[in-house]
Amino acid sequence: MPFTIEKYTKNHYQLWNEFVAQAKNATFLFHRDFMEYHQDRFEDFSLLIFDESQKLQAILPANVVGTTVFSHQGLTYGGIVTNETTKLADFIAITKTILIFLKSQEKEKLQFKEIPSIYCHKPADELQYLLFLLQGSLVRRDVLSVLDLKTQYTFSRDRKNGIKRGIKNNLVVKEESNFEAFWNEILIPNLAEKHQAKPVHSLEEIQFLHSKFPKSIRQFNVYQNNKIVAGTTIFETDLVAHSQYISGNSDKNELGSLDFLHDYLISNVFKDKKYFDFGISNENQGKNINEGLLYWKESFGARAITQDFYEVQIQNHTFLDTVLI
């Protein structure tokens, strides 16, 4: 089946978002309102792929830097997004069409930041197979700590003791619609002191995104005597609750605030989800792991799932010519 490509424009806004809503391997991060909150930082190069009847069959959320296209540097994950009716033969043709189009645009490389399997509604490993065919180079591999909520799991003694301290210290968890207290009193000071860094999202940006996705971006704070002592920002999708930010004050270990908070989230708020994703503990482009952070996450019963980053030479599209025999 022949396919055609169009670069995303604002005229595609509704069509794009409707496709994301029913795709098998997409989340709200691919909605244009989320993608464009930081549009001043990235040159968008998103693509729409249509069949011969002009029906949208796939999208590629992407940005471009020089002759390299990325899927997408401003998102946690990416890839070629399809619906559940797309078969492997069509996916091969779609990928080849994308690469030929990129070659016509004088691009040389395409970097994929794979969407972890836990976020997909249906099996969606077509891209992984094609990266093998295209001789893609693995340029980075991160490790997510994920708790499968549909299996038997147990918290370690350290976590159970932390939860008990939280109860003893009369901690209270509240869901908030305002992110200011957590950002200004906990998150920003902690990141500045420990990592000389800032949150990926400014306070204004996370408030804006929450206004667009109030059911998907949620803030849970921990209080002792009405004073905030810890919190986490959750990105919620159909299958997964993901801790985008986790932070506590200097007394968090003594109070048990983060243990108390995550027990509440895992055992109550998100108990019906399939997975709880604590995120990565990687540093240095995946080559190192913060051992203490990893230990804390795995103490809840979380275990490793990988996320791969591949680079493909666009000229390798010819390798797809003889796949089907």
Q: Kindly state the average pLDDT of the residues 173-179.
A: 97
- Write a three-state SS string for 125-165: CHHHHHHHHCCCEEEEEEEEEEEECCCCCCCCHHHHHHHHH
Residue range 133-158, pLDDT digits in tens: 999 999 999 999 999 999 999 999 99
CA atoms within 13 A on the CB side of 94: 25
Q: Which two tokens stand for residue 77?
A: 């994950």
CA atoms within 13 A on the CB side of 210: 19
The secondary structure of residue 78, as a DSSP letter, is: B
Q: Which two tokens stand for residue 122?
A: 């249906």
Report pLDDT for 131: 98
3-state secondary structure of 316: helix
Give 251's pLDDT tier (boundaries 50, 70, 90). Answer: confident
Residue range 95-112, pLDDT digits in tens: 999 999 999 999 999 999
Is pLDDT above 90 for 309?
A: yes
Report pLDDT for 73: 96
Report pLDDT for 110: 98
Is pLDDT above 80 for 275?
A: yes
Q: Kindly state the average pLDDT of the residues 56-66.
A: 98
- CA–CA gap between residue 81 and residue 16 (Å, rounded): 11
Largest CA distance in the chain: 69
Report pLDDT for 23: 98
* Percent of the chain residues past pLDDT 90, beyond the cut: 95
Is pLDDT above 90 for 250?
A: no
Give 193's pLDDT tier (boundaries 50, 70, 90). Answer: confident
Domains by residue range for the chain, with CATH: 4-141+307-320 (3.40.630.30), 151-273 (3.40.630.30)
Report pLDDT for 266: 98
Give the bridge partners for 44, in sequence order.
Answer: 63
Which residues have a Cβ under 8 Å from the Cβ of 72 and sit 6 or more positions away?
Answer: 35, 42, 46, 61, 62, 63, 78, 113
Report pLDDT for 252: 72
Q: Kindly state the average pLDDT of the residues 278-282.
A: 96
Q: b/e map of 57-71 (b: 16 or more CB within 10 Å)?
A: bbbbbbbbeeebbbb
Is pLDDT above 90 for 115?
A: yes
Report pLDDT for 205: 96
Give the bridge partners for 283, in sequence order.
Answer: 288
